[in-house]
A and B are shown apart, each in its own frame.
Chain A
Amino acid sequence: MIALFKRELSLSFRSGGGASTALLFYLAVVIAMPFAIGPDPILLAQVGAATLWIGALLASLLGLERLFQADREDGSLDLFLINDHPVAALVFIKALVHWLVTGLPVSLLAPVFGLLLNLSGEASLALVATLLVGTPALSMIGAAGAALTVSLPRGGLLLSVLVLPLSIPVLIFGVGAVRAALVDPDPFLPPFAMLVAMTLFFAVIGPLAAAYALKMGTR
């Protein structure tokens, strides 16, 4: 298990790995936004949190297609399935590493990118908090989608269609919590707690569903 974690982590930083791609894509989305909307600082601050959340969502989608496909192509996936390790645990580790190299840096760099969108300090803080607890859910949902589409040659398209509807609630509560932190009467805690609950829920359901899909996929 630890061996798989190390292998996945080192692979994601080598050629063809998803770590830098996701960050660059995130940066591209955030930089393009002010040019598209215009340089109005008030407007930018209003859409800033939503932009960063959308960026995080799309960045996490980017590397998902290859999550199991590379292992399937070189035959590693077969060996994962027939060993004594529970497949759901292997999926969890792969999804966890996916989050460590996409979701985590995206969350931690959000305040820096927030400067481009005129985000206040308070908003940045709320944004980091919501991204940190919300983005793991995206990786876990994504793992289930990636497992379902692993045998399809152009699975990426179908993958986004499968994953987006499940990710939308995470997005809604993530952005909702940031807004609640800034606008006074709305409480921050309920949407934030909902976000935590979704992450915990998908951390269990996602790997189990993915493991089932992978086992079915070999037949």
Chain B
Amino acid sequence: MKFTVDGLAVSRGEDQIFRDISFSVSSGTAFIIKGANGSGKSTLLRALAGLLEWDEGSVALQDAPAAFSDVALPQMSHFLAHENAMKPQMTVGENLSFWQDFCGHPDVSPEEALDYVGLSGLEDVPFAHLSTGQRRRSAIARLLVSARPVWLLDEPTAGLDAASEKQFAGLMEAHLDDGGIIIAATHVPLHLSQTVDFQLHGADT
């Protein structure tokens, strides 16, 4: 699988955040978007996730996996934004089962996914009772409960301690080994062996 972004330009309101962004990412690659605060990292991710319309440019997909052959990029992507998309009133397990049903393509069970992120046995705890790092880890578990080839991650390690960062790096490596794609916007290194870095400068350069 490979997808190619060509000449992308995105505006929010009157301001053009960036223009003429071109790159391509293929299976097994982690594509790391870097750049100063306000350079448009989150905007680029939101545009790829289908939440923002672009002014010009195109995104082309080649050789998508069979299960995703007739859907657009957003529908084969997991999008992990700053918010965790979990309901504080529901337990961690309930949250994960909901996203598994909603996103389709079920992979591991919520319990197993929580094992992978080091939160074993916490599926019956209300999400509101978790610490910041535990909340982030349970949001990462959401990426595991349903299988999608592309992960769009916005500052995925925010709030994680060193050990959890390592654990998450292992999960990302496993996803890449399965032929997945990761596109992440981050300031901190993600401890991945194979990455392509991409510098974003904003519209004025």
Contacts and interface: CB of A to CB of B under 8 A. Distances in A.
Nearest to B104: A84
B89 A14 contact: yes
B161 interface: no
B15 interface: no
Contact of A81 (B51, B84, B97): B51
A17 B87 CA distance: 12
B167 interface: no
> Which one of A15, A78, A82 has the greatest number of beta carbons of chain B within 10 Å?
A82
Interface secondary structure of A, over-half rule: helix
A1 B120 CA distance: 28
Interface residues of A, number: 25
A121 interface: no
Contacts of A85: 102
Contacts of B83: 73-75, 78
A16 interface: yes
Interface stretch (B58-66, B74-82, B186-194, B195-203): B74-82
Interface string B47-62: 0011111000000000
Contacts of A16: 89
Contact of A82 (B79, B87, B98, B101): B79
14 contacts: A10-B94, A14-B90, A17-B89, A74-B83, A74-B88, A76-B85, A78-B46, A78-B79, A82-B49, A82-B74, A82-B75, A83-B103, A218-B46, A218-B51
Interface of A: 2-4, 6-7, 10-11, 14-17, 70, 73-76, 78-79, 81-85, 218-219
Interface of B: 12, 46, 49-53, 71, 74-75, 77, 79, 81-90, 94, 97-99, 101-104
